[in-house]
Structure 1
Amino acid sequence: ELVLDGGSGAVGLREIARRAGVSHGAPRRYFPTHHALLSAIARRGFADLGQRFAAAVAPTAPPREQARALATVYVGYALERRGMFELMFRHDLLDSSGQEDTGQPRLRAATRPLFGQLVSLVSRCRPAAEAEEAEVTAAALWANLHGVAQLWAWGSLPLMLGEDRPGLVERVVDAALDAHLGTAAP
Structure 2
Amino acid sequence: MTENDTGLRTRLIDVGVDLVAAEGVQALTLREIARRAGVSHGAPRRHFPTHLELLSAIAQRGFADLGDRVRSTLANGGDPRAQVTELSRTYLEFALGNPGMYELMFRHDLLESGHLGLRGTSLPLFGVLADLVGRIRPGADAGRVAGALWANLHGIAQLWRWGSLQLATGSEDFTPVLETALAAHLGPREGR
Give me the TM-score of the superposition, normalised by structure 2. Answer: 0.86
Aligned to 1:10: 27
Could you say which structure has the greater relative contact order, defined with CA pairs below 8 angstroms and 6 or more residues apart?
Answer: 1
The match for 1:142 among 150, 153, 171 is 150
CA shift digits 1:38-73 (9 cap, x unpaired): 111111000000000011114530000000010000
CA shift digits 1:122-144 (9 cap, x unpaired): 10111122xxx110111000000
Is 1:125 aligned to residue 125 of structure 2?
A: no
Is 1:114 aligned to residue 119 of structure 2?
A: no
Unaligned ranges ≥5, structure 2: 1-17
**Paired residues, number:** 174
Is 1:161 aligned to residue 166 of structure 2?
A: no
Q: For the residues of structure 1 that align with 2:154 and 2:79, how far apart are their CA atoms? A: 23
Aligned to 1:173: 178
2:30 and 2:44 in contact (8 A); partners too: yes
State the SS of the aligned residue for 2:174.
Answer: helix
Q: For the residues of structure 1 that align with 2:24 and 2:177, how far apart are their CA atoms? A: 26
Q: CA deviation at 1:81?
A: 0.4
**Residues 35 and 94 of structure 1, relative CA distance in 2, 3 Å threshold:** farther
- Map 1:75-86 to 2 at 5 A: 75-86=92-103
RMSD, aligned CA = 1.4
Q: CA deviation at 1:174?
A: 1.2
Unaligned ranges ≥5, structure 1: 100-104
Aligned to 1:19: 36
Which has the larger helix fraction? 2
Q: CA deviation at 1:109?
A: 1.7
Is 1:40 aligned to residue 64 of structure 2?
A: no
**Residues 44 and 35 of structure 1, relative CA distance in 2, 3 Å threshold:** same
2:70 and 2:90 in contact (8 A); partners too: yes
Q: For the residues of structure 1 that align with 2:190 and 2:44, how far apart are their CA atoms? A: 53
Percent sequence identity over aligned pairs? 57
**Residues 23 and 94 of structure 1, relative CA distance in 2, 3 Å threshold:** farther
